[in-house]
Amino acid sequence: MLVSVYRYNPETDKKPYMKDYQVEIPEGKDLMVLDVLALIKEQDESLTYRRSCREGVCGSDGLNISGKNGLACVTPLSEAVKGGKLVLRPLPGLPVIRDLVIDMSLFYKQYEKIQPYLINDQPAPAIERLQSPEDRAKLDGLYECILCACCSTSCPSFWWNPERFVGPAGLLQAYRFLADSRDTATQDRLANLDDPFSVFRCRGIMNCVNVCPKGLNPTKAIGHIRSMLLHKEI
Question: From CA 124, how far away is CA 174, in angstroms rounded?
Answer: 23
> Least Å distance between CB 67 and another protein?
22
Site string for ligand SF4, 202-221 (x = CB under 6 A): ---------xx-x-x-x---
The residues that bridge with 17 in the sheet, in sequence order, are: 7
By the rule CB under 8 A, 195 interacts with another protein: yes
> Least Å distance between CB 202 and ligand SF4?
13
Largest CA distance in the chain: 62
Question: From CA 218, how far away is CA 225, in angstroms rounded?
Answer: 11
Q: Give residues 151-170 in contact with another protein (rule: CB under 8 A).
A: 156-157, 160-161, 164
Contact residue for ligand SF4 among 5, 37, 87, 172 (CB under 6 A)? 172
Question: From CA 178, how far away is CA 185, in angstroms rounded?
Answer: 8
**Residue 54, C-beta contacts closer than 8 angstroms, at least 6 positions apart:** 34, 61, 73
Given the complex with another protein, which of 199 and 216 has the nearer CB atom? 199
Angle between helical axes of 167-178 and 105-113 (0-180°, round to 10): 20
Of 69, 55, 146, give the one whose Cα is nearest residue 100: 69
Given the complex with ligand SF4, which of 19 and 214 has the nearer CB atom? 214
Contact residue for ligand SF4 among 147, 193, 225, 228 (CB under 6 A)? 147
Burial letters 93-119, b for 16+ CB under 10 A, else e: bbebbbbbebebebbeebbeebbeeee
By the rule CB under 6 A, 149 interacts with ligand SF4: yes
Of 171, 153, 168, give the one whose Cα is nearest residue 104: 153
> Least Å distance between CB 217 and ligand SF4?
8
Site string for another protein, 107-146 (x = CB under 8 A): ----------------------------------------
Site residues (CB under 6 A) for ligand SF4?
Answer: 145-151, 168-169, 172, 211-212, 214, 216, 218
Site residues (CB under 8 A) for another protein?
Answer: 156-157, 160-161, 164, 192-201, 226, 229-230, 233
